[in-house]
Structure 1
Amino acid sequence: MKSARRTTAAAVVLATAGTLVSLAAAPAPAAVSCASPVFQRQFYANTSLSGAPKKTDCDSAIDDSWSGAPVTGLPKDNFGVRWTVTRDFGSGGPFALGATGLDGIRVYLDGVRKIDLWKNVSTTVAKTANVTIPSGKHTLRVDYANWTGAAKIKVTYTPRTSADVDKVKPLTPTGTSVTYDKATGTAKLTWAKNKEMDLAGYRVYRRLKGTAFGTKPLTTTTGTSHTDVPTPTGDTYYYEIRAYDKAGNESGGTADQAVTTADRTGPAAPSGLTAHVDLYGMVVVWNAVADAAGYELYEKDPATGSYILIQELAGTSHTYGVPETKATHTYVVRAHDAAGNTSAYSAPVSADGIDRTAPDRPEKLLAVVYGGSVDLHWDAPRDRTDGELTNGAHFTVLRSKGTTLGTDAVKVACEYPDHSTGGGEDYSTFGCQDLDWELDTAYTYGVTLTDGKGNASAVSATVTVTTADRTAPLPVTGLTATPRADGTVLRWNAPVDDDIAYYDGWIGTRRDDGTVRWLDSCFDDGAGDPLAMLCVDIPDGETLVYAVTARDKWGNSLPVTDPSVPTVSSTELDTRAAESIYADNAPLLGSGGWIWTSEDITAFDWRCEGDVCADITTYRISRWDPVTRTYGLLDTEPAVPGTSRYTYLDETQPLGQVSYYRVVGVRTDGTETAAAHPFRIRPDVV
């Protein structure tokens, strides 16, 4: 017997239909109890695994080989072994179930057979099944039969952890708690261990009360505890734990665990105090102070020279009405924290009651060029701008030729630039349409807001655009067409135009009079070489005509019929299989197609029609080998009663060619139906 070794688990959802077969429940387990995830192993003196087992023990992993009787009381041939384990898979997910060995192997998940290698063989057999295991507890059972000769078996179940396969999040950790030691200022968090087999670790997040958790964790750990030392400011912090797996999937967060730190220090004195008058009155503003729960704003009494409290505030600004005179107002501000600790006073600041404040500068100026206009849009704060416009303010859109907004800038004649065209909750959007410009010319735009007192805002950030033209790009040069097993590759040299958006490919046939009948277009997937495209087709030896035209961002393009557009003829390869992919009145019908990526492999399908379907027990799937020019058996699929449509994923489908398939139904008497001929093109895009 082998020594114990570490075991992993894995499985993936089967891509083919009709492969899950329910079996009768296994015999009642022996008295030996094995702690999960260790297998209970039972030895039988027969290959049907019937009757009472001769021996029951525990096995940490299924990886055995015997040259004789494995245990006392068993023959050296014609014996059976059963392994069973029930374990908690946490959130579950995709697993790879692998089996290899000599003679019969069957693997079940919750009583459903996933692998069936039940044959008396003299050479090693192997199979991998991809399954999805649901969350929670599930039972894995392995049956093994040795008829003659050496006995060998290895079965594994391993999580599939690649990010493109595993999309299942771990379960949210449980049992979270936190304790805080005021003397040391430490917070200790603990939680229970997750059950997922593909778990990579845990992320601890922390946030200040009133804020959201950030995207970056406080720490990452493989353990189930963490000690943190939050800043002792008297603030409340919240912690949550999230589990993450090897594919990068992250669980939801645990319930927030709160810690309120001790507070023994007052805030710093506020800085950046300013005061000015605008449309709404005297505006006093200062910088926020860390650890501040509120602020106290004071104004100097010119008669006594002492400071009088104006307002207690939670924010960092205050606006109130003052007389519109040149009388001086002087202010200071101080902060206090939640524990009542106060800061020192800020440096004083003074201002009179005259409005010399320019409005807010317009933001996010955007210019979009169309064939007949340049449309401009910009944003401004909703409340403040609405008030300014009500009191006589107006927007001015400026424009200069070239790439800078110069002193020669002219005003654009906008229709209703001061009327909002929409916006969000906190801002309004305004617009202007410039209709007076020269073709193919660079212009730079800016916008300002002038209030009713004549105070003009700073010019917005400028934007430079080049207006539209009416000229189609020149013809491409150097056009070539190269036939391949997945279609025809077109390559060309780019014209000198600098505004090309994309290229159009065209396919046609040449008439007897030498003219071309254009039939279809090639689809450019936008990936890879911008001066090449693949015209995907079934290579059947046909001679076709190809052309490529450039299209600019204004939509200008030469028609494919223009005499200056170059064409090239090319004869496709002929990779067709021995049997036609099209069938008339056949009971089995296959599908065909392709997908625009070199990475993915897509399934093909077939369907069965008519009374013959009820008599089919198995489908045989073959694939055409273009080298040997024969069909080779690829796989078999059991027929499922009541099912007319079947799907199959050929994971070994070659890249860059057409794969022709042959599917026949095997009747109960062993005869075959007429074949269906699905095909799939897996293009090697350029």
Structure 2
Amino acid sequence: MLAATGGLLTVTAGTAEAAVTSASPVFQRTFYANTTFSGTPRKTDCDSVIDQNWGAGAPATGLPSNDFGVRWTVTRDFGSGGPFQFAAEARDGIRVYLDGVRKIDLWKNVSTSQTKTANVTVPSGSHTLRIDYVNWTGAANVKFTYKPRTSADADKVKPLTPSGTSLSYSSYSAKFSWAANKELDLAGYRVYRRLKGSAYPPEPLATTTSTSYTDTTLPKTGATYYYEVRAFDRAGNESAGTADMALTTADRTAPAAPKGVEKNWAMGNVENVSLFWDGNTEPDLAGYRVYRSIGKPVAVTPANLVSGSTPVSGPGFREALPQTGDWYYYVVTAVDIHGNESAPSGATNEFMTQDRTPPAETALNARAEESEAGITLTWDASEATSEDFVGYRVYRSSAPRTEGKTRELVGEHVRGTSFTDRTATPGTTYHYWVVAADEAGCQGAPSVDMEMHAQGNTTAPPAVSGLTVTPSENGVSLSWEASDDPGLDHYKILRGRLVDGKWAYKPLLDPGNFQPWKFTGTRHHDLTTAHGEQVRYAVIAVDLYGNALTPEGGATTAEVTELDLRPDADATPAATGAPLTTLGAQSYGDHGWISWISSPEADESGHRPTGLNVYRWNPDTHVFDKLNATPLPREDGGYWDAAMPQGTTSFYRVTVVFDDGTETGATQTAVAAD
């Protein structure tokens, strides 16, 4: 099977015909079910960073947790090369090779991570790194990095001379470009300029990390200038200069920048704009050029020119604004008959528009199919893109889109090229279509209408595996392996007790809505008091159609006996019962709330209750500690235990005190604190 995950290509076992290509500098990673890297890899994918900790588990599905090997390879251009630092850390073995030559060798079964750093000189050009890692037994982790050594005393290697230079001259500016160097320690480039007949100065004209530089400081004298660029690294080494590139400047005097443009403004949303400015007085004036952009400053570029190739003859300009929801700004330049263009004018105030422009993205070649995961819609990536695109919307209807029936939005902000509808009702026919949306809510052209009859299924996901249940002082911890059923929606957990010799189950309830809890992870701690009871848990995978096994029908179950933290049988006050209608206990953060409803108003002798005493079992001293100094008022309805022990079960006993000083027996309650 071929799968794309996070932009990386993965090939699992059984698909040897599918090739994996990892673009440099990404590593190609192969997994082996042995420590000799022999046979066909069980899995191949791409890995941008070698930093994994698999613990005691397997590194991937289908591989063992011990006696496995992982190999990373990458071939990349190191430019001029130079001194590098290779750093390795692993449990168990790791070997690092450069062009087949071993540079690091830590090859033994260890229980703790071993590390090693090697200083390596990498020659110039392309070279291959290979990292072999094996785990024989126990926990597995591996990390490898390589980086240039950039101190001046270590790195004496100059960068390669930049290549691919080009020089152009436009609007009295020179744009000097070159191809990027491949050095990993490259710090940037220095651009030099000299006048014909003179040498290059010691100081550069400009320093940049870009691969181009636009020189706007050239005099307009008709003189010839030469350019070269040199690369430099973080150690201060500088390459040789490139071959001279020459240009001759134009000898022109541009008109003055038009004035008064910045006075133009309008209120509210604008559909049409009219600009006016003061006229220039140059005798060789040919006209004006008007530029527009959605930000300031407005760049005087062909892309922003809105007045056309022929200059505007007078000091005014009108046009309809694109209704894109942007704020537009204008500048104006003056042009003479020789083609000289002035500096731009001041920018206008903003002209606001309302976004009525749909996004350019289109879901082409859309198709639909049903699987256990639901109804999946797939389409081709759009060649056209929009800056304000926020994602595709997926609509569903009981009738074709063209009939205008009620539609249902089932997917929104979909950035990829697929969407799975997991809410389709089996036995229902749906029509789907996909449409792009932008930030303003404008929608583009819809995809084709896709008719699908939801078949659904009645097959329950298989029983989960790896279920473990572990008792603790405040409940039972459960963990299980993730189900690989493609239609999995959630898990549910049942807690069973023996009733008349049979297991009776109840689902764990979501405390937010008191409905059966839908679990999406593979761990849960059942916070329950430790009464020493024998219970049985069932963890059941449920698919999107509600199909699920039962404990009697093959679902995975596990029995556990809770820890028994109950008080001693002869502890006092004795749990013979207090005159209370209800008694309960709850945990709120690090506090406990013991609540009651007291009854009756008087005992058989006519003595009236005056208060209550609250006791908490101390498992260290085997005594019930009294928590209140004086009897608590009945009307309080409860007691805050600010010192309630955490991570365990606390047992409380509450007694009633009458006006003759007598104290009743106790009623017991318990609470488990997280």
Q: Which has the higher contact order (CA 8 A, sep 6+)?
A: 1
With the length of structure 2 as denominator, give the TM-score of the two structures: 0.36
With the length of structure 1 as denominator, give the TM-score of the two structures: 0.35
